[in-house]
Structure 1
Amino acid sequence: MTLLLAAGAALRLFYVSFTESRALGEAYNVAAALADGRGFADAYHAGQGATAHVTPITPGIAAAVYSIFGTGSVVSETILGCWSIGLALATYFLLYGAFGRLGVPAILRLGALAFLCLVPVYFWPETVDFRVWDGGLAACLTALLFNRMMATQEISVRQTWPLAVIAALLFFVNPVWGVAGYLCVTIYCLARVPLTRTFLVAAVAALALVAVVGPWAIRNAIVMDRPVLLRSNSGLELALAMHPAAVDTTDPGGTFMKRLREIHPTMGSAPYRAMKAAGGEASYANELGRETWRWIGAHPAAAATLAVRHIRQAIFPDGWQFSALGGSERGGRLRAYLIRTLATLGVVGIALMLVSRRSSWIYPAILIVVPAMEMAFFQPVQRYTYLSYPLLVFAASGCVMMLIDLRRRRRYQVSSEGMV
């Protein structure tokens, strides 16, 4: 296992040495603004002002590095690249342990780990994007939460604190996966905590959530154009995914990029001016959200078609989801094919485990299916599909285990009948 993780780190560092790139987009803009002393601001363009487009942990870490070693400098990007790679490998290490406690043999888990470490399916986000974007940290927190639950069979009120804090951090970093995490923790605790202590456990969870989210929500209420609990961009993301042109599948990547340029303030001067005219990013996103919900209400069949497509794409992605924002179409198709194959094995494996009454497999099922359902009204891009990917790969190893076990049983049955 150690050799595989070391090889994974070496391959990614080798990959980074040839990319000579830094993460871009709103998260980078915010990190640069923080490092330059402009505050948590300017997600779309310099001079925009206060923002809540992203939450502060990952951009804050990047800003700390930029403030010491220079924004976008080679040293800064190398340090953040190592941080991003470390998150990916930590995620795989934690899932390796968690699936071992679910009964998957070491040899099969090593196969899953080898694939994750050595096959460059998501090398770009693992080495570049997640220097400033939150996907790598969200994946690692998801794996940590899952690992902690599998490691602790008996739980007291005091022992719920680590789970409560991890779940709160996950919700803060990525609320989509945070909802799934809280559902897992709820089921886990209900099965282990006496009913008389349920209130205390709930109080611990609520206190942890308030402690993590509260200061950010208060800050947003003070500096933003309207109250924002976590992020201001939900209406914008909704409008990017749910619109009439998206129903046509002739050129989904081109349609997505065209829509991005039409309404995303980072992508052009016209949407940026529209955002400023609306009164700020939160008000602009809220207006887009209202318009989109009106379209959904007027076109339920088209909206349902898109929603089902997004759920499928969250687990079984299309090639354009990897190539639209950069990268070759051929490479995107190949990566999508690999992920679909592994996702099929993973979903089948989880289903077989649940049918066999291995109840603990409900947790990876929730962590994969619930976020996909939440993505129904949003367009999954590769930064989002990544979070399910390591879970699906390890779940695929469980599928192989079940198929081997089934084959052995059939052989035993045949041999027993022959003896009779």
Structure 2
Amino acid sequence: MAGRLFGTDGVRGLANRDLTAELAVDLSVAAAHILGEIGAFADQRPTAVVGRDPRASGEFLEAAVVAGLASAGVDVHRLGVVPTPGTAYLTSLLKADMGVMISASHNAMPDNGIKFLARGGLKLDDDLERQIESRLAEPWDRPTGGGVGRVGDSHSGVAAYTSHLVDTVPHRLDGLTVVLDCANGAAFDVAPEAFRQLGARVVTIHAEPDGLNINRDCGSTHLADLQRTVVDVRADAGFAFDGDADRCLAVDAAGEVVDGDQILAMLAVTARDAGRLAADTVVATVMSNLGFMQAMAAENINVVATAVGDRYVLEAMRTGAFSLGGEQSGHVIMADHATTGDGTLTALHVASAMASGQRTLADLASVMTRLPQVLVNVPGVDKARADTDPVLQAEVAVAAAKLGDSGRVLLRQSGTEPLVRVMVEAPSREQASTVAEHLAGVVRTTLAL
């Protein structure tokens, strides 16, 4: 892998090409050293929990991560296949000094990733990730004899995580029929079991992972099967997860998609009405639909807007002690119950809101009206000048003025590619497309390399 290894969500790449067993060992050793040096391990032998999603490469990467940790003197609890938020929860529950999740989330099966968690199941900040990267392959004193770490399997971990999910739900789901698209991923058994324990009738699709079919034409990035199944079985709602189940999108009884903004809006209103929304504030990113912002204003709920990425949402939530935040992608963080986004937790609480008020998902989602949103990616340009080029900024200002309060223009540099994203919201899709294409043309001309 060229350049900085850690991206916005751990280290990812093509498994066995970019992300190799050797790199996994070195990363794990370096992580053990860094977390030890900052005092996380105190005077006792350090411990770690390791979870993975079902993709085939996770098997050898798990072995490499475990080997690296144990060789550095860390005792390891192997969780097996578990959602990312499950690994985070169990890191906290077992009072482990660190957690490791092996997953590439919604990426295609050939990819994989390694994400490290600190004590309490918290994501590492940028500085700690840089420190880990700086320690890769450095000379170190290897423990021998009884100093090496021991490895065991945590057979009750997944059940404990499932029980935790069930315990957070304020109202049972008796009488509800739900369809769950598990993306042939990490939630294939946890999510259906949690819903069944709460009394729902559950229909599952894409819940038979074989190591090769994760995210393949299913899950939160491919909703067609879920939409069709919800209508066919006359379910009350459907929920789709991604490969590591840290996000969730929904489908109402008519097969209409309910996106992350709508889910966040309905959860914010539900929590506020129950007195559980800290400071009557929700955290969202700048990419959240303008309709979300307008709906929250109408409900007298404050919105703190952050840069795109769940780590920025989490940072703002911790800084302000806020209890709810999320992204349009369906990555929702409920800080009273989790340290990271949790798709199953999100789905359960949406279903609970339906059951407690005997309301349909469509009715709950109607708290906001989603404005048509058009996103155009403009590659091969000097993205660094996007915020300062006077010609481009003048065109953006003109477009924004024409839209007024009924729309929005946002230009954003990609964090990983040489491109600029042009996002426009307007009362009609035609108007949004026209404005977006015009601005994309200006970007191509003014920022040409």
Alignment TM-score, normalising by the size of structure 2: 0.26
Higher helix share: 1
Larger RCO, structure (CA 8 Å, separation 6 or more): 1
Higher strand share: 2
